[in-house]
């Protein structure tokens, strides 16, 4: 499980690093955003698996998972700047992102901050300490999904 997660996260981060939204066409910009967000999904999946008792992960893996989510928040600031209005690929991003950029950007920063805070607690793999921080991080995800995703 740990090796699979590590390999998937490494592959996703490599894909994220290979794309350049500043020079990409709209379809590539959307694909890049999706790749970036898939890293957050992988991180939340690993953290959730541990919190539910479905898998045993050590503190290093848990902290890295949280740090990966924090990185997604940082990368997303640039990844979402261009609305990619002419993209032909399917996207769940809605125009409200660019109409309310300050709120969206602030939500990404809140996600980054919450994930960084969780990473500190996750080092000890202490579910009691991680629980409220997982809720805080999950709340930032929900807020964004409710307001900026179809």
Per-residue pLDDT of the chain (150 residues; tens, 9 = 90+): 566 565 555 555 555 555 444 434 999 999 999 999 999 999 999 999 999 999 999 999 999 999 999 999 999 999 999 999 888 889 999 999 999 999 999 999 999 999 999 999 999 999 999 999 999 999 999 999 999 999
CATH number at residue 123: 1.20.120.10
Residue 73 in any domain: the answer is yes
Has 55 been labeled as part of a binding site? no
Quote the number of domains for the chain: 1
Residue 85 in any domain: the answer is no
Q: Which two tokens stand for residue 143?
A: 């807020």
| Total residue count of the chain as it appears in this document | 150
Residue 56 in any domain: the answer is yes
- Run of H or E including 44: helix 26-51
Neighbours of 88 (CB within 10 A): 10
Query: In which domain, by residue range, is 14 found?
Result: 2-80+91-148
Has 49 been labeled as part of a binding site? no
Residue 86 in any domain: the answer is no
pTM of the model: 0.83
């Amino acid at each position: 499980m740990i090796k699979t997660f590590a390999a998937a996260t490494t592959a996703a981060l490599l894909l994220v690093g290979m794309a350049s939204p500043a020079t990409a066409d709209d379809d590539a910009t959307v694909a890049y955003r999706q790749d970036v967000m898939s890293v957050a999904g992988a991180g939340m999946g690993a953290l959730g698996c541990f919190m539910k008792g479905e898998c045993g992960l050590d503190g290093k893996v848990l902290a890295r998972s949280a740090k990966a989510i924090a990185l997604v928040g940082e990368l997303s600031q640039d990844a979402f700047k261009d609305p990619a209005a002419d993209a032909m690929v399917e996207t769940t991003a809605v125009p409200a992102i660019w109409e309310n950029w300050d709120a969206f950007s602030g939500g990404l920063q809140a996600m980054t901050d919450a994930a960084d805070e969780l990473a500190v607690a996750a080092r000890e793999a202490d579910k009691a300490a991680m629980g409220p921080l997982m809720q805080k991080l999950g709340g930032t995800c929900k807020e964004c999904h409710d307001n900026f995703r179809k």
